[in-house]
Amino acid sequence: MTMLRAETRIALPDPAAVLRPLCEHMREHEAEVSEADGVTTIGFGESRAELTVEPGALSVVIEAPDLAQLQGSRFAIASHVVEFAPEGTAPAIHWSGDGAEPMLPPDFRVLSVTGVEQLTPHMRRIRFRGEDLARYDSLEALHVRLFIPPAGLAEPVWPMIGADGLLQTPPPEQRPAVRKYTIREIDAAAGTLAIDFVLHDDAGPGSAFAARVQLGDRIGMAGPGGRGLKQAQRYLFLADETGLPALARMLEHLPAGTSGLALVEIADAAERQSLTMPEGFSLRWLHRDGAAPGSTSLLTDALATLEWPAGEGSLYLWAACEHAAFREIRAAARQYLRAEVDAHLVVSYWRAGVSEEQHAAEKRKAA
């Protein structure tokens, strides 16, 4: 296999003092770290970095089978050298060799809009075309981060990996807003995918983009991430509109004969969609009928009334909804459903009254 190669020599007052914590950190993250003849080798999957302490500098050589892995390893080394360098110093890093010119991050794609379909009054499906989509075509990881350029910007500006191997974000006035969405449909061979956007009041960048979208508009996409469909004999799904795209995609891929129940909170009957699911699977729509999204206990009330026959095979509970319902469902899953539920994944997809940035910051704090 032909390997790509990148190298750098980073001036540091005490390079050994940076290399030590860097190696410890890599070991904690299950990278293979070894040392022989004064050369430290760190293995990242199929790529390998060799680090040598020289007087006043750390010399690094990376070999990787492709550009994505080369970039990933360069980023891992460069970002941790910066992190472990003495406070107040900013090590200058400049890679030479393959992939040294600024480029998009390896998991980043530019998508252009090819179609818009109004599924229901508040759900809009947007179809996109992009290149090299194979990594996003997985039921193990359904979600992506969308990078939505500010409205009215003539030419979108994307985050780039710079010559130092680090991520460079665009200046604030050009910086895309980042929002999490679910890939509803994907055909990687054809280079197409679809995402279903909830059109909601108090629209932030995600909902506003969906409302104003024009054919040919471009957004960025990074990922995929999140946990996907887990194998079980029975399923209990709970979702509001934001969890509906993930639920619908999972239902479509359940093996025939799988049993279970999906509870879906929507505004009213006009928001119902026709979903494909195994025969014998039940779907119950719960209507807010005029109440604001995120203000009802429809999902938790329905959950509290369920009776599950014991001993009928493993049960997996999956829920994605507004934060208040998420808390109730998670508590129920941990307490009174513990005996029946073999595994669960309960996720807060949005929080009433706060933007996704604030919501994500709160989640990080709680974690």
Ligand X SMILES: Cc1cc2nc3c(=O)[nH]c(=O)nc-3n(C[C@H](O)[C@H](O)[C@H](O)COP(=O)(O)OP(=O)(O)OC[C@H]3O[C@@H](n4cnc5c(N)ncnc54)[C@H](O)[C@@H]3O)c2cc1C
Minimum CB distance to ligand X, residue 292 (Å): 8
Minimum CB distance to ligand X, residue 124 (Å): 9
- One residue of 4, 203, 275, 286 binding ligand X per CB under 6 A: 203
**Is there binding between residue 149 and ligand X (CB under 6 A)?**
no
**Is there binding between residue 350 and ligand X (CB under 6 A)?**
yes
Nearer to ligand X, 74 or 288 (CB): 288
Token reading at 100 = 């040294």
Token reading at 199 = 């059109």
- One residue of 179, 234, 249, 288 binding ligand X per CB under 6 A: 179
Minimum CB distance to ligand X, residue 255 (Å): 24
Fill in the DSSP letter of residue 260.
E
Span from 9-17, 23-31, 194-202, 280-288 in contact with ligand X (CB under 6 A)? 194-202
Q: What angle do CA 357, 359, 361 make, to 5 degrees?
A: 70
Minimum CB distance to ligand X, residue 291 (Å): 12
CA 104 – CA 99 distance, rounded (Å)? 11
Closest-approach residue to ligand X (CB): 204
**Is there binding between residue 202 and ligand X (CB under 6 A)?**
yes
**Is there binding between residue 293 and ligand X (CB under 6 A)?**
yes
**Is there binding between residue 120 and ligand X (CB under 6 A)?**
no
Nearer to ligand X, 160 or 324 (CB): 324
CA 161 – CA 105 distance, rounded (Å)? 6
**Is there binding between residue 245 and ligand X (CB under 6 A)?**
yes
Span from 13-21, 67-75, 186-194, 354-362 in contact with ligand X (CB under 6 A)? 354-362
Q: What angle do CA 313, 315, 321 make, to 5 degrees?
A: 165
Nearer to ligand X, 17 or 194 (CB): 194
Three-class secondary structure of residue 171 per DSSP: coil
Minimum CB distance to ligand X, residue 327 (Å): 15
Minimum CB distance to ligand X, residue 111 (Å): 14
Kindly give, in sequence order, each residue whose CB lies less than 8 Å from that of residue 362, ignoring residues fewer than 6 positions away.
351, 354
CA 293 – CA 324 distance, rounded (Å)? 11
- One residue of 13, 115, 257, 353 binding ligand X per CB under 6 A: 353
**Is there binding between residue 296 and ligand X (CB under 6 A)?**
no
- One residue of 143, 234, 288, 344 binding ligand X per CB under 6 A: 143
**Is there binding between residue 108 and ligand X (CB under 6 A)?**
no
The residues that touch ligand X, with contacts defined as CB under 6 A, are 143, 179-182, 195-198, 200, 202-207, 226, 241-242, 245, 293, 349-356
